[in-house]
Amino acid sequence: MRENTSVFKGRTIHDFAMITLGSFLTVIGAHFFKFPNNFSFGGVTGLSVMIGYVSTLSPGQANVIINVFLLLVGFVTLGKSFGLKTIYATIVISVGLSLLDIFYPVITPLTGEPFLELLYAVALPGIGAAILFQVNSSGGGTDIIALILKKYFSINIGNALLVADCFIVIASYFVFGVETFLLSTMGMFTKSLVVDNYVYRLNLSKVYNVVCDDPEPVCKFIQKTIHRGATISECEGAFTHQKRYNVMTVLKPHQGNLLQKYLDKTAPNSFITITNTSEIIGKGFHR
């Protein structure tokens, strides 16, 4: 019981640390690169800027109203734990943006290179969103819509974001003009690629099939040192007809490096095949 409690606390600390990191990247990308250039490639921030431009609401007020509504929808459709994590992320992002507005305001673009700034405006929040998705959270806004679409319609996160953000980008043409619209369109497509790529990298695991004469030492190392499970099956060489064993296990990349070093020292004659995968369902992975 104590061990389970310790694991739960450790996982919670890890999740909120990752949420803080993802939120920090989102804040930096938005404050220094997205806002000064009026980039509107989706997100509540882009929508809030346009609402503030055409109504009596300030962008900040519009942002709060939209996020509160979407958080309620997230609670209902995605579960309480998702809502709590997203509330924390939304608070970190909101407080971070407010503090930067007070102590380090950025009114005009940092450089005269819109493409360079677009790169950072896409990459930093995109990586931040991928980190948040990894721990079942989001920065609020259209990220919540994307996760709802993914849950109920099996759309990958990048495409879901593309659908959710498309209308905002189209609206930017009528509010800010052709140049901002074209840059925002490019940013929208690039963001979906960035998110999918980093979600894949964060979920990446490796399937190891180790053909060896004695599976016991290999399994003991996997269980005691790496703390993973393994499956043993008998196999036979097609040429020699020699009876051997196949040990199959799924590991994270850094765990796989440990196994390979161990096998190099203790079982140099073993035959190893390694397959990359980002979709694993089961204990220790996704459910």
pLDDT score for 65: 81
pLDDT score for 219: 95
For the chain, domains (ranges, CATH) are 2-202 (no CATH), 205-277 (3.30.70.120)
pLDDT along the chain (287 residues), means of 10: 54 88 91 85 78 73 78 79 79 84 84 91 89 81 74 70 77 87 86 80 88 94 92 91 93 91 91 86 61
Tell me if the pTM is above 0.85: no
pLDDT score for 145: 76
Say which DSSP state 259 is in: H
59-78 and 80-103 helices cross at what angle (nearest 10)?
160
